[in-house]
Structure 1
Amino acid sequence: MAPKHRDGDIVALVPHSPSPNHQTPVILTTHQIPGQYISHAHTLCAYAAFLGALLVGLSLHYKKIVENEHFGYPTEWFPSVSSTIGDRYPERSVFQIFIAMTSGPRFALVFLNYLLTKRPGSSAAKWVAGVGVFRTLTCGGWTYVTSTDDHNWHDYFMVSYLVASIPWTLGCLALSPPNHLRTVWWRKWLAGGFFATLVPMLYFFLQHKIHRVPGAYTIYALFEWSLVLIDVGFDAVTALDFQSLEIVIKDVKGLSRGDSKRAQDTFLETQKDKPIGQVFDTQFRWGEMLDAVADVYIGFIFWSVITSLGLVCWYFPLWHMGLSRYEIAILSSISPFLLGIPAFRRHIADAMPGSYLLNGLAGLLAYLVVSPEWRLATVSAGVWTGCLGLVGSLWRDKNDAAKLEARINAWAIGLIASSIAKFAFWTNNPVWPIMNAENGGWNKTGIALFLVAIGRLYLRKPAMAANPSLAPKHEKPTKGPSALASLGFGGLMFALHYLLSDSSTIILWTWSGFPVRGPLAVPHGAWTIATMGLGLMAGLFYPNLVRTWTAFGIGSIGAAVLTYCENWTGYYGGLAITLYVTAIAPILVSNAIKFPPGRTFGLGFLVYNFILLFSIWVVAYAFVPGGPLVRERTDWVMATMMLLLGCGVFSALQNGTGSTPGVAMDSNRTFYPPPNPAAKRQRSYYIYILLALQLLSASIAYLRFPPYNYQPYHPDSKVITAGIWTVHFSIDNDMWSSERRMESLIRESELDLIGLLESDNQRIIMGMRDTTQYLAEELGMWVDQGPGPDKNTWGCALLSKFPIVNSTHHLTPSPAGELAPAIHAVIDAYGELVDVYVFHSGQEEDVEDRKQQSDYMSTLMGQSSRPAILLSYLVMEPGKGNYNTWVSEKSGMRDIDPSDWDRWCEYILYKNLRRSGYARLSRGTVTDTELQVGKFVVGQPEDLSAGLVPEAEVPQDMRFPSLFKGEGVRGHFYHVFDEPRYYA
């Protein structure tokens, strides 16, 4: 360390001749530039860039830059930042020139801030400086790569900049030196203003994009400009700090030596008995952090493999239309029963649990197995060994409070990571065995990272040579039967899998159609994920509050509200049960591990499988023995889940179990810190990972937010191309996820409307997926998912290039067979309102059901005089039986081609539109049902005398695509008629 000289001048040691070992203190006092000049230069250049572009834009292109995709002047009267600084000359040039001038002062500002806040033994200042540099680079990215140049990269840079602003703002506030109280005051207010502005800005952006509220974009723009001005103003406060610096050689007050107290230190002293003080007042060690990351990734793989088991098992009853005997594979998770054998338990004690976790690799390698039967067997083996590895790890560390908490945290955060992965990949987990390189899988990457994580687990320094934790000597005897703990764990596993393994599940439960009156999968899936993280932290720090019957009652009310209510009310109930389930998770697992592991966790997984099958029976009642007894009783499933969780809570209360094993619970305390410094530091790593995952979730929500600027394929001819397709739950004939192949065919067919049937995948055996998210975003279409997963149907969905003005969901009469869903939507097609119906009828065996359903839907369609299109699955022969109810004066509907005798399931009907074309496209190996397509012209009267005409007489933009002629592409070709049919 350089010696001090006089009043705090920094002194350097330089060699002094003639002896090279003799050093003389020299004061470094060269040319001096006041530090605040850097801050002022940065502020002036930044404000000049934004305000200069704004003034030029308002002067030269006012009406153009206030116009958006929905409204123009005078409805919208103030431009957004992006429209101001974007593509028009000269405002774009004004902005880029001044923002380039900002870069030099910006890097100097980051460097000076680092010098001012660094101190020995702490890396916080380096972290903040690194974030500052990254933030500066991403600013250059979204500045010089506009949305017109490359929309995706512009968004990547923008969201990275916004995300980096959070740690930069908080870091600067925490490290503020105490030389100016005004500095901290200004930073608190500006930071608060920055974060507070984000909420209304997002609200009005959604009002503009989704609801098309006139003038909402102007209000959004005002908040956006406020955010920019506050952001620059926050960095301008550094001028107060830099008054103590002279560039760069002299520190006139000595603040950069790191021996003075920072705002962070004072704050943490006041918060030492609260969660934030316990987490962040610790030393950071990279090795331990990497251990935590490895553990979380192993937890992620556990959830990835176990959630894939039902999905690959579902393939077989799907094709058998009933039980197939392969369902027995669901029981693969009961392997912990083996721990009831003393010799095997001792083997687990002596073996590294990582060996069993490594055997779970089979679940990841299963994608290499071509045969569906053997792929299921491979996944089953992965689940069998993975569950053994999980329980073995918990049992091995049961007496080490810090280690056991780490195992539980990694398992719980692994679920959150799995949900985020599905959020990023449109509800498919990229390492599932139904994924591969062709349909968007990241299987090889997942395997490589898993091997690295297991390697890290093996290289970790063991705490004990022996395994005394497996034979505790001074453990308090457990109270109550182990069965209660088993029931609690089984209910917990089911609740986490059923409700929280996908961020869109509880959102789809509450969806009721257009106009939007509740949450959307994007962006509100990030809200669900954030609530999961908050719940886990509540369970760790406030176990005495979480394990109370009051908390259980709140969770039960939330479950009831989710089950019985729709829209925002139902979703808020879903958030309540989400918060409760993730909060109680560490407590129930900590309690269960006190009991013998074989019977406790073996029975727990068996109970989990029982209620899993129960949740399937409520919708599959027509295909399983005893199904009618639980027909459509999702409320019974939820009640059973809560009762099981209640059993676990009762057992935890009996044993005084909190979230930290080995720590005695005091009923008079609410906050429980980690038991020792090592545990405190370890817990902080998992909180860091949790925070990083939340930022990732928010970034995904931003990047996935749809533009809602969709256009039909042939607007000049006012053609609607509509299709109906039974997609068989997005699993193709060879057990691969089929969304991408479906998207290709729909795009190549140039469909403006498409009804999807058998589309509800929000069940455990279907992977808790939502195919429509990928299709809607990639095809640029509005989507209505139809009656939700809690309505006990196989699902129907509508995707539309035209705005959906209104939609209602119907559960048609089904006294005997499966429940038949329907959507009635009203679309705005070229300025005219058109009714669109999507419907899936009951099975062939249920004659009375189909009769009542045809009466119901015909009455519904006959009540509207608007032009209409029915996209349906009817199960009948043309011209016979119920056909004459569907095509009748009662409904007003006509068959698109009465001469097509080769139909049984799919039909397209219409009224008050001019029919112009009809085609049938082979399914290839995507599903078991073809795609039927019809073309209609809006604004022209229906011509009942129109007959077939050759394709040569049809205008080019009203023809069907030619690539499906002959042999077609990828197994998709025109069949039955060999060529499309045209009418005139």
Structure 2
Amino acid sequence: MVSRYKDKDRDGGVVLSFGGQWVSWSHTVVAYLAFLSALIIGSALHYHKIVQNEWYGYPQEWFPSVSATIGDRYPERSIFMIFIAITSGPRFALVGLWYLLTAKPGHTLPKAIAISGVIRTLTCGGWTYITSTDDHDWHDILMISYIVFTIPWTAGCIALSPPNAKAIKYRKYLAGTFFGTLVPLVYFFIQHKVHRIPGAYTIYAFFEWALILLDVGFDAVTALDFDTFEVIVRDVKGASKGVNTSSVPTAVLEKEKEKATAGVFSAGFRLGEALDIAADVYHGFVFWSILTSLGVVIWYFPLWHMGISGYEALVMSTISPALLAIRPLRFLVLKNQRVTHLLSLAGLLAYLVQHPVRRLFTVGFGVWMSCLGWAATLYSDSVQPARLEARILAWTIGLLMSSVAKFAWHTNNPIWPIMHAANGGWNGTGLVLAILAAFRFTRRAPLQGGNPVENKGGSALLSAFGIGGLFFGLHSLLSDTSTMILWVWDGYPIRGPVSNVHAWYTIAAMTAGLVTGVSRPALVTTWTAYGVGCVGAALLTLYQRWLGYYGALTIAAYLMAISVPLIGSASQKNPAITFGLGFFIYNFLVLFHVWVVAYAFVPGGPLVREHTDWIMITMMLLIGAGVFDLISQRAKSGRKTSDRRRPAATGHRKYHLGALGLLNVLFLSANFLRFPTNDYKPYHADDRLLTAGIWTIHFSLDNDMWSSEHRMRDLIKELELDVVGLLESDLQRIIMGNRDTTQFLAEDLGMYVDYGPGPNKHTWGAALLSKFPILNSTHHLLPSPVGELAPAIHATLDVYGTAVDVFVFHSGQEEDPEDRRLQSEYLSNLMGSSNRPSILLSYLVTKPLQGNYNTYVSERSGMHDVDETDDDRWCEYILFKGLRRTGYARVSRSTITDTELQVAKFVVPATEADSVSVWTAPKALRDKRVPEHEVPEGWRFPAMFRGEGVRGHRYHVFDEPRYFNF
């Protein structure tokens, strides 16, 4: 560093000197040689092998991807690695020269960019030298890390670019094209990986190669800046001192740089301010984590009471801001905000409380204090617009962070009180960070005491309406990225978005909406914008597939955009009304949106039965009331609100924008790791065996109020289930935490999944997991004139080349016999309409050989009972036709749920003759039972569940599996 500031004009003996631009040119030439030589040699020697992928080869695929080209084949891989090794020297020199060029005393950004450049170089070596064949996990980790560090490197290079108009222009174009290329790259990769479209991987390969060319090209632009250096480095033009060597004025160039980087780096970076924003955002994340957990722990009790339990009253924990109407109490809360926010962390501590009732009340207390604390903080800070805006952004970005965390944890929040170490929880870590964040969040003194803030116009009542509708929309639709995707899901073949592939679109829409709400408030507080939001809500409610999801993205962007002005306006009025009444209205909508599906169990339920459309209309009308208040305030003020008018101090925005960018990168990283492999293999393919099960999972909450996905996963895996039907599986409501158990199970077990009728179909859920490809699936709502809706899935699977139909069905409750009769006739006709081998995995609510049983098992349906001598059943049944039944077992649930897991084994006929013999076999032959030793070993059930079993799971009722001769 000393030599950096020596007299650069003093001549000295130079043994060797060359222009600094040659560092850039050598890096560019050798890097391009590494990739292009591998492409040429690989195409010449192994063309057909490197264009081959897991689905197609030449001629459908005719251009190789980067990974295939530089992968495992000799000699191209070796030549590539030699050139990459040579590239490392110029690369490190390039990063070093860039730092010397841009470093200024007292500036932190050049150091940060230099560090990111070094890490980026190291990770590049990592993913190029460790191929996916060597170690798939580390290859992916290093590749993601390289992409992550490319973002600050690119933005930083533009922000720090010397006053060189040509270099700035090239960097803008190359960076924009690079990141723009990522969109079609991901699209065609999905077309290849998920939809298996021939030729899609070839198009993907072109975009992948384009990224390589653009990435190296971006670094090549440094040649235009490094001509100011002479090695041994001597600054002969003074560019490192900030001298403008361009004919374009410095002010114009600085404006161009600020525009290219969205102004993020236009002001100095201060670690203290960054920590403040990080703490604020994390505290916002904690608020949403506690709030979204309340519904889950409440839901536990009506599940076990099979109706209203009384504990539902805890949903009113959110109305605590109403206490701010009491002046002495308002003064006390405002002066002691730190205490209030720290007490709210009881909602995170609740995981240490084992007793479900006490845990519920602990969470309720946390929600009570959290809503009170945030309302008081917003009210207190409303006298300073910039500080208020920072709080609002922390609150809303906290919601986005919650959605990111839930995606990474397969729709569970890692700090929820239903999580602990055994099922993937990070409760302890989350609590420690929450305490630190709360202390920093409250380190500033309150800006006002208990006296009411001067009313700046508008109606507190209308603001309360707007807050109620807004918070319901944010919570019900945006607290999990898969919720709206499942609204528009309609089965196989896939014709719409998929949760673990397209969920980032929701995050992107939320991000864009929030940025728009901050930067263009006048744009979002118009009736035009409101109308666009209403259209989005209507499309989401009325349509499926991509059209419905476009509506979802529209309403997501609108809700986030309007949240900034709505919350800001509400904060400047009486908080007891705007937030106290607002949360009360929110609670009304929460109950409303449970009543539409739980109508059979709640007072007045039939009045709102299946009326999600009414909920959406109510939500948008309430938000409209808030928008009306905003527009009225603007009209009465007699001035136009300029889009560019900002609070006095907006330095916080660059940090909030950085937080949004970081969260998007983290989401995409999790998205990459969760991307489906489609490498799904049945357990006993050599025996042509299909093991099927049916399980009522009780909404994935076990008897002790813990999330049960991991325990379910273990039992399903150990029983070697190839196909399993799950009932009571729809968790996409506020009261159930907006979760989706099937995502974790499908990805961890390597299975295809059909979620079944979505959350806007008003059922308790039916889902199908399969090791075999799902060729087609349709969803059915069976006749239910009185009671709860009965969902069914009719799926056709490709089982060892044979099309097999699987039906998953949940019948109506016992209290409605006419519903169950109509449902039995509907399902019998549906099963009878198929002449393919079939399996029914069901919840029938009937006794064997009696009543509706004889409609399900009949000539009309063609179905047979898996074991008609099992007279202990009432709910779960497995029926079949056209398959060789070889075994049947009942496995105890332990404390996972309230229903056992029933399992059956079938052999799929291999030839047409086998198929005919199965269909025509007499009943006596089909029902003949044999001892286990007469059954091939591959057909047997796992021995680990005999006797006492493991973890509370054992064969019961018969105390052992039953095997059949045919």
* Same fold by TM-score greater than 0.5: yes
Of 440, 448, 470, the residue aligned with 1:492 is 470
1:269–1:277: 8 Å Cα contact kept in structure 2?
no
Question: Tell me, what secondary structure is at the counterpart of 1:907?
Answer: strand
Question: Tell me, what secondary structure is at the counterpart of 2:541?
Answer: helix
Is the deviation greater in 897-906 or in 940-949?
940-949
C-alpha separation in 2, matches of 1:897 and 1:701: 44
Amino acid at match of 1:289: A
Shift of 1:47: 2.4
Of 348, 370, 381, the residue aligned with 1:364 is 348
C-alpha separation in 1, matches of 2:172 and 2:571: 45
Question: Tell me, what secondary structure is at the counterpart of 1:920?
Answer: strand
C-alpha separation in 2, matches of 1:666 and 1:980: 81
Is the deviation greater in 48-57 or in 224-233?
48-57
Pairing 1:734–2:712 present: no
Of 63, 85, 94, the residue aligned with 1:100 is 85
Residue aligning to 1:949: 930
2:165–2:253: 8 Å Cα contact kept in structure 1?
no
Question: Tell me, what secondary structure is at the counterpart of 1:877?
Answer: coil
C-alpha separation in 2, matches of 1:427 and 1:28: 66
C-alpha separation in 2, matches of 1:131 and 1:395: 40
Q: Is the alpha carbon distance of 1:232 and 1:389 closer, same or farther for their aligned partners in structure 2, counting shifts above 3 Å?
A: same
Shift of 1:615: 0.4
Question: Tell me, what secondary structure is at the counterpart of 2:121?
Answer: helix
Shift of 1:196: 3.1
Runs of 5+ unmatched residues, structure 1:
4-9, 15-23, 658-663
Amino acid at match of 1:145: I
C-alpha separation in 1, matches of 2:59 and 2:732: 45
Shift of 1:722: 1.0
1:591–1:655: 8 Å Cα contact kept in structure 2?
no
Residue aligning to 2:296: 311
Pairing 1:646–2:624 present: yes
Amino acid at match of 2:824: S
2:893–2:901: 8 Å Cα contact kept in structure 1?
yes
Residue aligning to 1:342: 327
Question: Tell me, what secondary structure is at the counterpart of 2:55?
Answer: coil
Is the deviation greater in 416-425 or in 112-121?
112-121
Shift of 1:834: 1.2
Of 646, 654, 660, the residue aligned with 1:674 is 646
Residue aligning to 2:893: 923
Q: Percent identical across equivalent pairs?
A: 59
Residue aligning to 1:80: 65
1:398–1:470: 8 Å Cα contact kept in structure 2?
no
Shift of 1:401: 1.3
Residue aligning to 1:621: 599
1:283–1:681: 8 Å Cα contact kept in structure 2?
no
Amino acid at match of 1:810: H
Give the alignment's TM-score, normalised by structure 1: 0.93
Structure 1 residues 46-445: aligned runs within 5 Å: 46-179=31-164, 181=166, 183-260=167-244, 266=252, 269=255, 280-351=265-336, 353-445=337-429
Q: Is the alpha carbon distance of 1:615 and 1:11 closer, same or farther for their aligned partners in structure 2, counting shifts above 3 Å?
A: closer
What CA deviation, in whole Å up to 9, does each residue of 1:306-331 have, x standing for no partner? 11011101000011000001111111
Shift of 1:2: 9.1
Structure 1 residues 6-17: aligned runs within 5 Å: 12=6
Amino acid at match of 2:794: H
Is the deviation greater in 797-806 or in 164-173?
164-173
Shift of 1:95: 2.5
What CA deviation, in whole Å up to 9, does each residue of 1:938-974 have, x standing for no partner? 2243244142222222222222222112211111111
1:399–1:469: 8 Å Cα contact kept in structure 2?
no
Is the deviation greater in 434-443 or in 237-246?
237-246
Pairing 1:883–2:853 present: yes
C-alpha separation in 2, matches of 1:665 and 1:292: 32
Question: Tell me, what secondary structure is at the counterpart of 2:785?
Answer: coil
Is the deviation greater in 713-722 or in 77-86?
77-86
C-alpha separation in 2, matches of 1:722 and 1:195: 45
Is the deviation greater in 726-735 or in 602-611?
602-611
Is the deviation greater in 927-936 or in 241-250?
241-250
Residue aligning to 2:451: 471
Shift of 1:424: 0.7
Residue aligning to 1:18: none
Residue aligning to 2:484: 506
Of 940, 944, 953, the residue aligned with 1:959 is 940
C-alpha separation in 1, matches of 2:455 and 2:353: 48
Question: Tell me, what secondary structure is at the counterpart of 2:532?
Answer: helix
Pairing 1:902–2:845 present: no
Pairing 1:974–2:960 present: no
1:13–1:26: 8 Å Cα contact kept in structure 2?
no
C-alpha separation in 1, matches of 2:961 and 2:493: 36
Is the deviation greater in 409-418 or in 696-705?
696-705
Shift of 1:454: 2.0
2:847–2:853: 8 Å Cα contact kept in structure 1?
yes
Amino acid at match of 1:850: R
C-alpha separation in 1, matches of 2:943 and 2:133: 32
Shift of 1:932: 0.9
Amino acid at match of 1:639: I
Is the deviation greater in 594-603 or in 437-446?
594-603
What CA deviation, in whole Å up to 9, does each residue of 1:338-370 have, x standing for no partner? 11111101112322x121010011100000000
Residue aligning to 2:579: 601
Structure 1 residues 829-908: aligned runs within 5 Å: 829-908=799-878
Question: Tell me, what secondary structure is at the counterpart of 1:680?
Answer: coil
1:487–1:647: 8 Å Cα contact kept in structure 2?
yes
Amino acid at match of 1:51: L
Amino acid at match of 1:256: S
Residue aligning to 1:720: 690
2:857–2:863: 8 Å Cα contact kept in structure 1?
yes
C-alpha separation in 2, matches of 1:195 and 1:279: 17
C-alpha separation in 2, matches of 1:477 and 1:234: 51
2:158–2:260: 8 Å Cα contact kept in structure 1?
no
Residue aligning to 1:660: none
Q: Is the alpha carbon distance of 1:553 and 1:267 closer, same or farther for their aligned partners in structure 2, counting shifts above 3 Å?
A: farther
Q: Is the alpha carbon distance of 1:651 and 1:189 closer, same or farther for their aligned partners in structure 2, counting shifts above 3 Å?
A: closer
Question: Tell me, what secondary structure is at the counterpart of 1:514?
Answer: coil
Residue aligning to 1:761: 731
Residue aligning to 1:824: 794
Shift of 1:885: 1.0
Is the deviation greater in 664-673 or in 572-581?
664-673
1:758–1:796: 8 Å Cα contact kept in structure 2?
yes
Pairing 1:686–2:656 present: yes
Shift of 1:30: 5.4
Question: Tell me, what secondary structure is at the counterpart of 1:970?
Answer: coil
Residue aligning to 2:560: 582
What CA deviation, in whole Å up to 9, does each residue of 1:248-280 have, x standing for no partner? 4212222122344899963553698x8976654
Q: Is the alpha carbon distance of 1:266 and 1:122 closer, same or farther for their aligned partners in structure 2, counting shifts above 3 Å?
A: farther
2:333–2:376: 8 Å Cα contact kept in structure 1?
yes
Amino acid at match of 1:223: F
Shift of 1:670: 4.1
Shift of 1:223: 2.1
Residue aligning to 1:524: 502
Q: Is the alpha carbon distance of 1:232 and 1:278 closer, same or farther for their aligned partners in structure 2, counting shifts above 3 Å?
A: closer
What CA deviation, in whole Å up to 9, does each residue of 1:234-253 have, x standing for no partner? 22333333233222421222
Shift of 1:148: 2.6
Is the deviation greater in 911-920 or in 158-167?
158-167
2:455–2:572: 8 Å Cα contact kept in structure 1?
no
CA RMSD of aligned residues (A): 2.3
Amino acid at match of 2:398: G
C-alpha separation in 2, matches of 1:589 and 1:12: 55
Shift of 1:85: 2.2
1:278–1:680: 8 Å Cα contact kept in structure 2?
no
